[in-house]
Structure 1
């Protein structure tokens, strides 16, 4: 064999945990079980999870994705996405006597309950989150307009206009960067020393675990690929965590066809992870693409084990 045909050696560090979390798993299952129970079409308000591959495969099974409830007929079931919805949405569905199933991740629902509890105690809420993200819209929509103030950065804290600085609580979107959120919380506590926070961080276990796994491989790799969708908050945060922890090259790719091979031509090590809504089949596709071009040694770097499972709603566990 001539030397030119020899594939260059590459160590591929595979981060674990990666990919599907319990909330995403449950949301996908809800759509599949709803189609089994009520037949197609079943309507889904907003992408059930932020991943084109997942959405397309559910479309093939009979799911119809819409942005708003008024695009759904009264006589077909509708499912609300894992990101959560404002209170007005299920209220409208009930008014129209629709069958609806809420696939909101239980960890997002926990934040909704927290916000309501604080509000009932007379506290105004500050939400740390990304403006316009469905989860932020859903959480802020649990309370009347003006009851939840949004901050995205530490500098936003200075501009907050609150009713009473001594009656405040904060909550966070579940998919944020753990490190960035610490800075925003510090700014909130500095300006409002009595602000009430959650007993335990709102950022979900899956987001935290995936970020920790990226930190564990960041020092060993020439580049990081995060498999996930461009509108997936937790996936974008993984790219940022990689960059912040020393990865000179950190990129988000939806699947193997998106890889920029020219940028990776001189690398000898690569890290791979996947956002919480990216299926493992896409991870395998990316690994296979590397095997085609390199002599790959795979090293698993596991920083935690996840065995959390969320039950699907009772209506889907009962016979039709």
Structure 2
């Protein structure tokens, strides 16, 4: 992201450093930087990633000459949001060093447990990037399917970025009431709600990402077993970050999964697997589409296969 006269995304997330460096070569200095807009845009992008998958270190790496607009109140708000989401902000300042008390950039890094450095040459800047990266190690967490979840404190604003389960549309409800398109909950594998016997159209919801159907009460019981706050969980199929209404959580607060036949399997003792990269010239030979987004493989992106299940 560049944040000079305007804020612009110059690249998606990449694992290919060669492509990234080529894109960065085209970046030009374009006036006084609006750091608030830059951080805001970066947080929006990271929130999209956090909703899709967990277990990653989320960070914003800022390279600046310190020539930023004086918008401290708005900047404080953005920093508080980053801190609440557990996002590190590392800052590399190039050029004239400011006095410690006057350098608010250093304060931003400290508030978010990030790193700050002042550099006067490109070689030192590159070395700093490697050093900063090495200090952001993931904490050891329990396996996703394990019932013995860790007691680690999760960022308080995770609740705010989780997405609610999608309600069935009017046409979907009409079809189910007419006996067509009855959905089976992907947690209890039943059309009827095991808690109250209601049909799916009355108490069912869908994951807004992959479209998998769930009973609200089953989703609530699954959330109770999750590593996040009591009403937050990840879709068991696409791992999208979801939330269950507090009213439903209160209803199931004293109910155990065993009583209604919902069992979360502990697979923490299973052996881990590796992802094997498919050769670029073999990608177009894949005769199937992605099971989640239904896109076909055209060779535009890297593709990996699981060593265990293929």
Q: What range describes the TM-score normalised by the shorter chain of this pair?
A: under 0.3
Select the structure that is richer in strand.
Answer: 1
- If asked which structure has higher relative contact order (CA below 8 Å, sep 6+), I would say 1
TM-score normalised over the length of structure 2: 0.22
TM-score normalised over the length of structure 1: 0.22
